[in-house]
Structure 1
Amino acid sequence: MRPLRNPVIQMVLSHLLAVWMQFCFRTLRWTHEHRALAEAVWAQGGGALCAFWHGRLALAPACWPLDRAQPVKGMISLSADGEFLARALALQGIPAVRGSSANPDKGDKARAAATKGGSKALRDGLRQLKVAALAVTPDGPRGPAGVMAEGLPLLARLSGAPVLFIGLSCSPAIRLGSWDRAVLPLPFGRGAIVWDRADFPEGADVSDVIPDWTARLNAVEARADALTGLRDRPG
């Protein structure tokens, strides 16, 4: 049995990760750009989609103030790693909608795996968006990194909810050798959160918005990295 598939190990590690994340968030010196876009969505209440690339998932709780924003759930994959992350996020007030969205560029087998639980997650996500927010990593759960699948724009089109693109960064940080070059925070450094907002264009197809939304999500992440000085992992 792989260690992360052991429920006891999952529980212990997820608790440790949640405590570590909150410690880091409290000690980072945060810079925010265009937060008024998010404040308007929080003040309005109701459904909202918040999107960031999979590699910044460990920073996500820092961008959603549960004391004044609407409740939020995270769309997390059905993998063992997804279970580990789902537990850690739930301990910080962000419960999970389990599932993932298929990426048409991934091939038949990968697409079938990515779609496992996807229909149920889509239904659950739409129910969530009637009253609250849903966090989505549009290149998850296995990439390629920075390649947006159809799930985010499809949810935006079906729900009519506004989309908040969120660039998250911190420095110094641990960069993992995973497919998404995941960033894990370290304490007493700099953090940045950069916002952009979009609404699904009336009459557009899902495929029409993916290039623009990909560019906008890349832009806010690049700006956040510029604010903190975080450099990409060599190679």
Structure 2
Amino acid sequence: MRPLRIPFIQNTLAWVLAAWMRFCFATIRWTHQNEGAAEAVWKQGGGVLAVFWHSRIGLSPACWPLDRATPAKALISLSADGEFIAKAVARQGFPAVRGSSTNKDKAKAAKGGTQALRDGLKQLKVGGLAITPDGPRGPVRQMAEGLPMLAKISGAPALFIGLSCNPAIRLNSWDKAVLPLPFGKGAIVWDAADYPEGAEMADVVAAWTERLNAVEAEADAITGLKRV
């Protein structure tokens, strides 16, 4: 049995990870770029899609100030690893909407993805939904259609978020995930967009992929973190 499938181990590691992230976020010197785009979206209230690549999920709570940002939930996969991440993120004020279209069992994948879409749209009627459009298993920085589809159906704006810190831990995972280290340099870069009326889905995927890559690259340039 994999350790993360054992509830006690899962809960303990989630608590440790959440505590470590809070400590690091408090000691990092943050640079905020184009924060006005985020503030304008939060001021409107209602639904918003908070978007960042899967490799930066360990930095994501730093970009969402609970005292003024739209209350949000995170779309987390149905895997055991997803459950662990969901618990760590939930300890920092982000309850999870569970579901994923990536699963070896196609029937279960379809059911989980459909339910996640329903739950995501329901959440977007009242608040924010954090989503990693290349998750849960990649390919890295390749956006699936789920994000623009949610934006098109819901009418909610997408808030693209580039997150970086240096120094950082690089995990040996498919996405080379970044975890923070304390007392370093951090950067958060924002960009916002609505689904263009009448646009083809493939065109939106390409344009939004470029914009999300741009804010992440800008954040890495600020901190000096090497892109991989």
Asked whether the two chains share a fold, i.e. TM above 0.5, the reply is: yes
Residue number in structure 2 paired with 1:159 = 154
Amino acid at match of 1:90: A
Which residue, out of 210, 219, 222, partners 1:224?
219
Partner secondary structure for residue 224 of structure 1: helix
Distance in 1, matches of 2:152 and 2:63, equals: 24
Whether the aligned pair in 2 keeps the contact of 1:101 and 1:150 (CA below 8 Å) is no
**Could you tell me how far 1:232 is from its partner in structure 2?**
3.1
1:114–1:141 Cα contact (<8 Å) kept: no
**Residue in 2 that maps onto 1:176:** 171
Gap regions ≥5 residues in structure 1: 103-107
- Deviation track 1:53-100 (CA, whole Å, cap 9, x = no partner) reads 000000000000111111100000000000000000000000000012
Residue aligned with 1:168, SS: strand
Question: Aligned partners of 1:145, 1:110: CA distance in 2, in Å?
Answer: 22
Q: 2:122 and 2:42 mapped to 1: Cα distance?
A: 18
CA distance in 1, matches of 2:110, 2:59: 25
Q: Which whole-Å CA distance do the structure 1 matches of 2:120 and 2:77 have between them?
A: 13
Segments of 5+ residues of structure 2 without an aligned counterpart are: none
Does 2:29 match 1:29? yes
Distance 2:190 2:107 in 1: 33
Aligned to 1:188: 183
Closer, same or farther: CA 232–127 of 1 in aligned 2, 3 Å = same
- Structure-2 separation of matches of 1:115 and 1:137: 18
Amino acid paired to 2:212:
L
How many residues matched?
228
The residue aligned with 2:99 is: 99
CA 1:112/1:55 → structure 2, altered by over 3 Å: closer, same or farther? farther
Counterpart amino acid of residue 210 in structure 1: V
**Partner of 1:117: helix, strand, or coil?**
helix
Secondary structure of 1:147 counterpart: coil
Q: Which residue of 2 aligns with 1:137?
A: 132
- Separation (CA, whole Å) in 2 of partners of 1:95 and 1:185: 21
Tell me the equivalent position of 1:39: 39
Q: Return the letter of the residue paired with 2:186.
A: G
Once residues 119 and 97 of structure 1 are traced to their aligned partners in structure 2, the CA distance between those partners, rounded to angstroms, is 12
Q: Percent identity?
A: 69
TM-superposed deviation, 1:110: 8.1
Letter of the structure 2 residue corresponding to residue 4 of structure 1: L
Alignment correspondent of 2:142: 147
- Conservation of the 8 A alpha-carbon contact between 1:101 and 1:149: no
Deviating beyond 2 angstroms after TM superposition, the runs of 4 or more aligned structure 1 residues are 108-116
Structure 1-normalised TM-score?
0.94
Match of 1:201 in 2: 196
> 2:106 & 2:224 partners in 1: Cα distance?
36
Whether contact under 8 Å (1:101, 1:151) holds in the other structure is: no
Tell me the distance in 1 between the aligned counterparts of 2:67 and 2:78: 29
Q: Residue 105 of structure 1 aligns with which residue? A: none
Give the alignment's Cα RMSD to 1 decimal: 1.5
After TM superposition, give the deviation of residue 203 of structure 1 in Å: 1.2
| CA displacement at 1:134 relative to structure 2 | 0.2
Write out per-residue CA displacement over residues 22-41 of structure 1, whole angstroms, 9 at most, x where no aligned residue: 00000000000000000001
Distance 1:229 1:111, change over 3 A: farther
Contact 1:23 1:187 in 2 (8 A): yes
TM norm structure 2: 0.96
